Amino acid sequence: MVRIGAFLVGLFFAGWLLVSFLMGAVAYVSEPPQPTVEHEFHELPKHVSFSFDGPLGGYDKQQLQRGFQVYKEVCSACHSLKFVAFRDLEALGYNEAEVKAIAKQWAIKAPSVDPATGEASTREPMPADYFPKPFANNVAAAAANNNAIPPDLSLMTKARHHGSAYVYSLLTGYQAQPAALLKEFPDSKTPEGLHYNPYFANLNLAMAPPLTAEGQVTYSDGTKPTVDQMAKDVSAFLTWTAEPKLENRRRAGLATIIFLLIATGLAYMSYQNIWAEKKKAA
């Protein structure tokens, strides 16, 4: 009796799911979804190649250092790296003295308050400190950025599909709204204070183009700082902040695959050797 009841309940739910599916299919055919400006004009990230592409790729430390320079001189005024410590920069090729010098360029707020002014005091940064936030809180961040809170960039390339290419495309994708867009969707004009970018989800974002001209930063290794180069470099750097152990993980994966192949070969030869005589006897 219990089995019959369970069967009937399952049959009921299966039938209900089938009816719901058919109703949805009929609604989709009779009233197809209306095209939206985001659906028609949102673009997939551009194709761009990096040294860490592919299963055997690795980071180019020179590029990572250039990308860090772009972040420091351009992006850090608005965006934080709250999951990255100054000492982590040693992985980019900086020595201990250089890391200490870099850390001193930031102000770290101390937990104490200056009794004379009532403001939070600051202390000298240490390599163990994490990159400080550029704003005291979200209210201050929104007030300084057209009511938009700049996101933390530590894990940005993992938070977005095609992360590295997405960041590169976004930085190089600012443009005027296409005439076709305004013709088809006349009410979709980019609002005042926002900027059109087809690689952003809703096409309009509060961040003004951060990379605007060649030579915005000066690379110490002599690389020409074009907008395209700066965008690639900072995209690579942000990939490293999101996946600092990428190279170790790939090396471990390769070693594991090689071990499994060898172990499989040895197991097969052992099998052949153990059962060879019994096969002959059979």
- The pLDDT tens digits of the residues spanning 171-218 come to 999 999 999 888 888 888 999 889 999 999 899 999 999 999 999 999
In this predicted structure, which of 13-17, 59-63, 213-217 has the lowest mean pLDDT?
Answer: 13-17
- The pLDDT value recorded for residue 7 is 77
Give the residue, 125 or 131, on which the prediction is more confident: 131
The length of the chain is 282
The closest of 130, 161, 155 to 239, measured between CA atoms, is 155
Phi-psi region of 93 (alpha: psi -120 to 50; beta: other; left: phi over 0): left
- The pLDDT value recorded for residue 271 is 85
Q: What is the mean pLDDT of residues 81-101?
A: 96
- The pLDDT value recorded for residue 16 is 84
DSSP string for residues in 111-140: EEE-TTT-SEEEE---TTSBPPPSSSSHHH
Report the predicted TM-score, pTM, of the whole model to 2 decimal places: 0.82
Structure tokens at 185: 């969707």
Q: Name the DSSP class of 126.
A: -
Structure tokens at 200: 């952003």
Q: Which amino acid is at 184?
A: E
Question: What percentage of residues in the chain have a pLDDT greater than 70?
Answer: 89
Q: Hey, what long-range contacts does 189-198 have (CB within 8 A, 24 or more apart)?
A: 193/146, 194/146, 197/170, 197/173, 198/41, 198/42, 198/43, 198/173
In this predicted structure, which of 82-86, 212-216, 270-274 has the lowest mean pLDDT?
Answer: 270-274
What average pLDDT is seen over the chain?
A: 88
Alpha-carbon dihedral angle through residues 187, 189, 191, 195, given to the nearest 10 degrees: 150
The rounded distance, in Å, linking the Cα atoms of 108 and 120 is 10
The closest of 195, 213, 193 to 203, measured between CA atoms, is 195
Q: What is the mean pLDDT of residues 122-147?
A: 89
- The pLDDT value recorded for residue 235 is 98
| Secondary structure (3-state) at 78 | coil
Q: By 3-state DSSP, what share of the chain in percent is helix, strand and coil, each rounded to 5?
A: 50, 5, 45
